[in-house]
Amino acid sequence: MARSMPETSVEQVLQHEILTSSCPADLKRNHGFSFTPAPHAACSPVRSPAAAGRIQAPAQTERMASSGLQTKKRDNHNGHFVQPTNPNVATMQEDVLYHFHLSTSTHDLPAMFGDVKFVCVGGSPTRMEAFTKYMAKELGLDHPGAEYPNICVGTDRYVMFKVGPVLSVSHGIGIPSTSVMLHELIKLLYHARCSDVTVIRIGTSGGIGLEPGSVVITRQAVDASFKPVFEQMVLGKRVVHRTHLDERLAQELMQCGADLREFPTVLGNTMCTSDFYEGQGRLDGALCSYSEKDKQEYLEAAHAAGIRNIEMESSVLAAMCGACGLQVAVVCVTLLNRLEGDQVNSPHEVLVEYQERPQRLVGHFIKKRLAAAGNPRDL
């Protein structure tokens, strides 16, 4: 088992390096691993009003978005609106959300999505459809013969379902696919004039020092060098974004886990990588440039740094949603303990039940939020 180490002290050291140095100290010198320095970039929200034209969507499309629920028109003017940081969005005559097969000129986005308060995203299209059906039952909105059509039926890139104030969207595997989805999702919420939106990723991961089936609520998304940043290349230059998540939201989700008392729920850091195999220190990929000893030392160091699971989307989710003022959280179940192996070999029925655990926790959270607001149909 990994050596014990105060998690907060490690985070403080990493945050200090990021905040005080334009050229971060070599991670190998400080923590035993290398890190490529990168400049920082700040994102400032733009408060320009939307100027894109909107026309009425076909009745069939509106029915798909509402999933058979009669949604009530509300005055959202007192809420916190979704706001992209790109000022160009507000001046576009038409905004084509290509990968969703939606557009501001062909769909009435406020009518279709204006009541959305919760956006739940996950990698698998099948899982997100199942979550929609689960939430319909949990919110009392299901009825015999109810159907929940894919709103993005015109494309095979992503799926999108809606029931009441809950939007369910797939993001595929990894940072690139998730990034594309988030760009268009954030713009959709902006054009729809949505306010007070909470975004939660529900997914799977590899645990570090946890039993399979444990649910990890992410306190901080970190990269493969254990730093709380998301780095990307923009116009040939490295740009670094912070990956802070909402602490109060994480604690609220932790309380939901305590309410349910159905499975282990822990709060910990999540390492986001760009690869499933070598990027996560696996020994079973087609390529492997390190030894089992190297792998074990790396994972034990990650555990000592407060990391409790590994996946491939949390950092870009935290960076993009945070920059646009969206409350965001990550809730993932662990399918295995990476300190004990690399392959996911639990029986299929066991894995299916594991994957339902984040859905049950997030479903409980949504019900609590709606109950606190007084009426699940009119948040």
Dist CA 274 CA 162 (whole Å): 30
Residue type at 38 in one-letter notation: A
DSSP code for 220: E
- 175 assigned binding-site residue: no
Task: Please check if 60 is assigned to a binding site.
Answer: no
Asked if 312 and 204 count as a contact pair (C-beta separation under 8 A), the reply is no
User: How far is the C-alpha of 122 from the C-alpha of 111, rounded, in Å?
Assistant: 25
CA distances from 202 to 119, 191, 223, 240, 363 (A): 10, 25, 19, 25, 11
H or E element: which one contains 299? helix 292-304
SS3 58: coil
Which single residue is written with the structure tokens 């909470």? 198
Nearest to 62 by CA among 123, 125, 112: 112
Rounded Cα distance between 114 and 50, Å, is: 14
201 is in an annotated binding site: yes
Q: What is the DSSP letter of 306?
A: T
Taken in order 208, 210, 215, 220, the sign of the CA dihedral is: negative
What span, in angstroms and rounded, lies between the C-alpha atoms of 259 and 116? 25
Residues, the chain: 379
Q: Which two tokens stand for residue 10?
A: 């490690």
Q: For 294, which DSSP code? A: H
DSSP state for residue 313 in the 8-state scheme: S
The answer on whether 202 is annotated among ligand-binding residues is yes
What gap in Å lies between CA 211 and CA 207, rounded to an integer?
7
The amino acid that residue 165 corresponds to is P
Asked if 314 and 218 count as a contact pair (C-beta separation under 8 A), the reply is yes
The verdict on whether residue 204 carries a ligand-binding annotation is: yes
Q: Which residues are annotated as a binding site?
A: 157, 201-204, 280, 282
Please enumerate, by residue number, every residue annotated as part of a binding site for phosphate: 157, 201-204
What residues form the annotated binding site for substrate?
A: 280, 282
